A and B are shown apart, each in its own frame.
Chain A
């Protein structure tokens, strides 16, 4: 994956953030889903996006991936303005995502699902199949490789989403609650996988509720509520932030 990253040779390139979101806003039916959101993510950083339901986390993903167009604001990715680009064009630039509500291609097998992502970098179908097999193994679905996707459990579907997304060899991976629905025993494996991907040059923004996962892998966390960024800092800082405790950890913190 590392060799796929483009180095434009511009001095200081490595210091500019991979993603720069500035003043991003979008409304649905007059309600601000995301309001004046500004943040940046450096290369090879893992950032957790946190917040209660309706905070605008998934909407932020839709905006970065191109599934929705913002009302105002700008998203710079790898030195390019993403405005007006369709999701497939953004994927070719290196933005990949998983869906919170998994969207497997039901009639295709697990490997074929991943081939759809792998096709982008492999001209020949057999090469795409071989590459897809490796990603299927990487996420631990080897025993389901030829099974139809519609028979998978929720946890397996989440893994499939992940395999499909990384098969496009992204620079930025948007992970939407990938640990949701996965059994507790598998979580350390997922954490290990995300770390390994980062070592290979991947930048990750993850929507995550599991504080253990955030504490173990995230370099930084951004906390949102009602479309607005409330706090930003290390996971430990966020966990101590009074507003966050009130909004999010309230029940757990107070008993």
Chain B
């Protein structure tokens, strides 16, 4: 878990990065880019959720609040204060992180995981209901529209990069950049002293504390960082789709989907959230004709994976490859 990066893991990462970066050059359609962008938004969310739940071991069910806070925060700031999306994205994420600290404080002292789940879920419901009812500000379920897109960029060598529904390549690379930054930040945290403390807390809170690990500082810090990442995903989503409703941006469905992604991919594994985001987002798109019934397929998928690969798909080894021995 807390090991030096192995060569084959590094190679897989490089190949995956090249595929992601090269895809638009193959001239794929706008729809494929759209699905890829959604995958990357969900991947940021899932990676951040996995940091708190998979690595730190805090079973939170309210991370969609931070997605909504980032989305509405960034959208409202850019609409009302005239601050461009490039800056408001970070302000929205900072807002999510601030709320992360705020809700992190009470849940720190709760030892029962069921109670942590209920408190965080209730918090997210409060955020959602507030956004639904502050109609003067958010227009409620009618939808907040007219969210400005990212301003065009003039890059050396590349030329002008525009962000519009018609041309998704700019969004695509921006999403890839944000996902890359999220993964890098997560890897740096996990491989540091803080990462060791995080894993120690998950495996034995009392023992970690007796060895000098400051539980309050680590838990609050990780919670805020995770909320920030989810806030980034939410803010990017707001400026990408251009319209927000509380049920779409802060609905419990969103959280359930991300939890499913992390479970399917592998809770507490680095690649798990990515595998889950790719699999569930693309299957959601391809099962769109089933409408609401696709939730049934999700349910079935999760049951199958929990039964046959309880540590998630990312933990599976290809046949013929040596599986490291794990004494029971």
Contact = CB atoms under 8 A, between A and B. Distances in A.
Interface of A: 65, 67, 86-88, 91-92, 96-97, 99, 103-109, 112-113, 115-117, 119-120, 125, 128, 147-148, 150-151, 164-165, 167-168
A131 to B, nearest CB: 13
B237 to A, nearest CB: 33
Given A117-B212, A119-B193, A128-B193, A112 B207 contact: no
A91 B212 contact: yes
Interface stretch (B129-137, B156-164, B194-202, B248-256): B194-202
A148 B210 CA distance: 21
Contacts of B207: 99, 103-105, 164
Interface residues of B, number: 25
B204 A105 contact: yes
Given A104-B204, A107-B203, A151-B327, A116 B210 contact: no
- The interface centre, meaning the residue of B196, B199, B213, B326 with most chain A CB atoms within 10 A of its CB, is B196
Nearest to B210: A87
B208 interface: yes
B211 interface: yes
B210 A125 contact: no
- The interface residues of chain A, by DSSP majority, are classed as helix
A86 B201 CA distance: 15
A210 to B, nearest CB: 24
Contacts of B268: 107
A86 B211 contact: no
Nearest to B203: A105
Interface string B138-161: 000000000000000000000000
Interface in B189-230: 192-193, 196-197, 199-200, 202-204, 206-215
B1 interface: yes
A65 B210 CA distance: 7
Nearest to B207: A103
B193 to A, nearest CB: 5
B2 interface: yes
Contact of B209 (A88, A105, A109): A88
Contacts of B215: 86, 88
Contacts of B208: 105, 116
Contacts of A86: 209, 214-215
A119 B203 contact: no
23 contacts: A86-B214, A87-B209, A88-B212, A91-B209, A96-B211, A99-B210, A104-B203, A105-B203, A105-B207, A107-B1, A107-B202, A107-B268, A115-B196, A116-B200, A116-B208, A119-B193, A119-B196, A119-B197, A128-B193, A148-B326, A150-B326, A165-B210, A168-B211
Given A96-B211, A151-B328, 19 more contacts: A86-B214, A88-B210, A88-B212, A88-B215, A91-B209, A96-B210, A99-B207, A105-B208, A108-B196, A108-B200, A115-B196, A116-B208, A116-B211, A117-B212, A119-B197, A125-B192, A125-B193, A128-B193, A147-B327
A47 B209 CA distance: 24
Question: Closest 6 interchain pairs by CB?
Answer: A151-B327, A105-B203, A103-B207, A91-B212, A103-B204, A120-B212
A147 B324 CA distance: 11
Contacts of A92: 212
Given A115-B196, A125-B196, A108 B203 contact: yes
Contacts of B214: 86, 88
A168 B193 CA distance: 15
Contacts of A147: 327
A33 to B, nearest CB: 17
A147 B192 CA distance: 20
Contacts of A65: 210
Contact of B1 (A96, A108, A119, A151): A108
B213 A88 contact: yes
B203 A106 contact: yes
Contacts of A108: 1-2, 196, 199-200, 203
A60 B213 CA distance: 22
Nearest to A115: B196
Given A116-B208, A148-B327, A105 B200 contact: yes
A167 to B, nearest CB: 8
Contact of B210 (A97, A104, A112): A97
Nearest to B194: A119
Nearest to B201: A105
Nearest to A117: B211
B211 A164 contact: yes
